[in-house]
Amino acid sequence: MLHGGDYNPDQWLDRPDILTEDIRLMKLSHINCVSVGIFAWATYEPEEGKFNFKWMDELLDRLHKNGITAILATPSGAKPNWMAAKYEEIRRVDQHGKRDPQWHRHNHCYTSPVYREKVTIMNTKLAERYGKHPAVAMWHVSNEYGGECHCPLCKQGFRAYLKARYEILDAVNDAYWARFWSHNYTEWSQIDALDSGVHALILDWKRFVTHQTTDFMLHEMKPLRSMTPEIPITVNMMGFYDVLDYWKMAPHLDLVSWDSYPGWHKGAVYETAAGTAMAHDVYRAMKQGKPWLLMESTPSNVNWQGVSPLKRPGLHRISSLQAVAHGSDGALYFQFRKGRGSMEKFHGAVVDHAGHENTRVFKEVARLGEDLAKMNDITGATTPADVALIFDWENRWAIHEENGPRNQGKDYQQTVYEFYLPLWKRGVACDVIDADQPIDQYKLVIAPMLYMIKPGVQERLSKFVENGGTLITTYFSGYVNESDLCFLGGFPGGKDSLLRKTIGVWAE
């Protein structure tokens, strides 16, 4: 069972005494694994083409000597200033056509050939240098992929994506119902992802963002797969993050992981716990038969909520063990030691600014480490579920965009949660899946507000019921196809549809 989290020694290279003390504190808190190098590009490559890996050499040797493994990250989540200044095209362009300055993180264009080349150089060097190091247990590719770019390269990439999807413009016009408002396209160059009046276009842009992010991820992984095929690869995801459809990314990963930061003290603890469990069950379901990993959590508090309180005594242990109970092979944190400055200096950590083990948080972390050390026999175990609850990213996008009888308070995610809650209260294992997943293995499938019916979904649901399964669905189901075109002949599914026959009712 892994216990540890993000560790940033590159911020403390001028304090060898602190780096030495960190090892003592890791061992004292029963930490056996740390994620390193996540935002270290400027330390690896302070100037273009001039590399410094000595500090990482020493770190990995020190970790291995003390029985601590490393999840080694690729540093693409934050590019260095020299790169942004020299290569303008790698900086994202916003929806208004303005190129972003070099600020924050996740501010790079996934389409940019220059950035892809720089990432390949860096990741190749990391794989060559550390692929055989005994401390390295896993690759952590980038960090929390996210965002979108509207630069000319991305617009060109989007049109190429549409050509592959539809082949001819007539198919695009049909799928987009383009005769409405005279939006027929006569040239591919006329397609602009910012046209909010065409719902199918908005959906395709969102699909493209996931497609392009996944393509960039695979580009990052290529030298790692080629040179270190025996080392598993993960990407840390973000719960129900709206921008990326994680189901499209998961098949390419050896292990899925996610970063969990609930607002524990915003309402009833059990409600927060139930919502967190629902997210855990998404990631458990993504790699059927395999565990997942809680890659980030806080042992104390975050720093970005309106009020960011410390966890109450005992809550850290309970919430971490909840993740294990839902299939995680450990509990990792952001972060091990608090930094002194910048944006996350007050974000929770195992080691606070006090710098020693005599804090409540440290002691709670150490106790959890003792608990996890007793659970190694369940590593890799999974809990088969008899119930599947459908939460579909594309369906959420479509519901959000549609203009209809209700344009506020649509509450798709909340509705799914309200079906999840009674199952959770009764201890019923439930996989939270998207609509494209197989369902034959379940006894009960719940599909709330399944507004969009993608190809094959009606057939799977109908066959499931014919074979003795129980299907529950709700209002606002079966209204449109994958292009957000309404079915004709009434809902759900249109006249004579399999879904209509299966459910046995129709709505005008």
Cis peptide upstream of residue 11 (ω within 30 degrees of 0):
no
Could you give the angle at which helices 152-166 and 199-227 cross, rounded to 10 degrees? Answer: 100
CA-nearest of 19, 27, 123, 138 to 72 is 138
Residues 97, 270: Cα–Cα separation, whole Å: 44
DSSP string for 6-50: EE-GGG-TT-HHHHHHHHHHHHHTT--EEEE-TT-HHHH-SBTTB
Is 482 a catalytic site residue? no
Q: Provide the residue type at 417 as one letter.
A: Y
Q: Is 124 helix (H, G, I), strand (E, B) or coil?
A: helix
H or E, element range at 204: helix 199-227
Is 144 a catalytic site residue? yes
Q: What are phi and psi of 88, to 5 degrees?
A: -60, -35
Residues 508, 505: Cα–Cα separation, whole Å: 10
DSSP 355: -
**What are the tokens at 418?**
């309200």
Marked catalytic residue, from 45, 148, 296, 394: 296
Q: What are phi and psi of 57, to 5 degrees?
A: -55, -50
CA-nearest of 74, 91, 105, 84 to 222 is 74
What does the radius of gyration of the chain's CA atoms come to, in whole angstroms?
24
Catalytic site residues? 144, 296
